[in-house]
Homo-oligomer: A and B are copies of this chain.
Amino acid sequence: MNEDAVVVAIDHGLHWGSYEDFADPEATLRTLLEANVDGLLAGVPFLQRFGSLIDDYDVSRIATLDLLHNSTTPGGDDGSEIHTQVFSPEAAAAAGADAAKMALVYGRSDPAVLSGNVEFVADAADACNDVGLPLVVEPTLWGQEIDDEFDGELLADAARIAFELGADVLKTPYPGDSEFVPIVEHAPVPVYIAGGPAVGSDREVLEMVAGARDAGGRGVMFGRNVWQREDPAAVVDAFRRIVHDGASVDEAAAALEDV
């Protein structure tokens, strides 16, 4: 987990149910494995269920340990704040994970939700130490009390707290180049960027990836910006050129068009 990497997040089913363009877990998984991703981010039972399939590829497994619901209706968003640890580092290790992952969500209406969150992140960091798994923490501003979830200053704060709680790796929303630089510079751990909804053109996403790389980021941990795009395999390939080969946006975009 201390290397340049294109990781694809496929833990959306755990939080949201049957996600658009990701209704069939195995189909999406096979597409991504064939696309030569460096790593996959999925829930522990997902890694268990498809373990032998994944074994056929050279890919890192990052196990999501927590569940997020914004509603008691599956896939809904009505201001409910459900965030709880559902899998243990021990179970992640038993499922063959190379790392574990949790979100750290600021901006909650209910302070008890954040308090529980910092507790389980810190506990998991300690337990991950014991089982030899690095812990990826994703510090976010998803709470409903925050207006701009890409606020650079607040993201820097959240990233710092994530490190102080025991994160070995950071997965952070990307606030733009200028505000991403200090986050990377001050973090004593590798930093990857998260994606968010698949908005903007492919080229705009490539620009984000290249900007993050230029600022010192180690790569991406994207979900919808891979498997909701028209050609996920081509997108992964383009990301890999930027992250691994130092390609420019133009070069990567050309590769994208080649497909």
Residues of A near any B CB (own CB < 8 A): 11, 13-14, 16-18, 23-26, 43-46, 48-50, 67, 69, 72-75, 80-82, 84-88, 91, 106-111, 113-115, 118-119, 122-123, 125-126, 129, 143, 145-146, 153-154, 156-161, 163-167, 182, 185-186, 188-189
Measured in the bound complex, the distance between the Cα atoms of B143 and A115 in whole Å is 17
* Chain B residue nearest to A108 in the complex (CB): B72
Q: Which 10 A-B pairs have the closest CB atoms?
A: A17-B157, A74-B157, A86-B122, A14-B164, A45-B166, A80-B111, A18-B156, A72-B108, A18-B160, A82-B115
Chain B residues closer than 8 Å to A73, beta-carbon distance = 106-107, 143, 145-146, 154
Is A164 within 8 A of B43, CB to CB? yes
The residues of B that contact A115 with a CB separation of less than 8 Å are 69, 82, 84
**Could you say how many copies of this chain the assembly holds?**
5
Can you list 18 A-B pairs with a CB-CB distance of less than 8 A?
A: A11-B164, A13-B163, A13-B164, A16-B157, A17-B156, A17-B157, A18-B153, A25-B186, A26-B188, A45-B165, A72-B107, A72-B110, A73-B143, A74-B157, A82-B111, A85-B119, A86-B123, A91-B129
Central interface residue in A13, A23, A45, by most chain B CB within 10 Å: A45
Q: Are the C-beta atoms of B118 and A158 separated by less than 8 Å?
A: no
Which residue of chain B has its CB nearest to the CB of A74?
A: B157
How far apart are A61's CB and chain B's nearest CB, in angstroms?
15
A74 B44 Cβ-Cβ under 8 A: no
What are the residues of chain B within 8 A of A23 when measuring CB–CB?
Answer: 156, 160, 182, 186
Residues of B within 8 A of A80 (CB): 111, 114
**A158 partner, pick from B74, B81, B189, beta carbons under 8 A:** B74
With CB as the reference atom, state the residue of chain B lying closest to A45. B166
Given contacts A73-B107, A73-B146, A106-B72, contact A114 B82 (CB under 8 A): yes
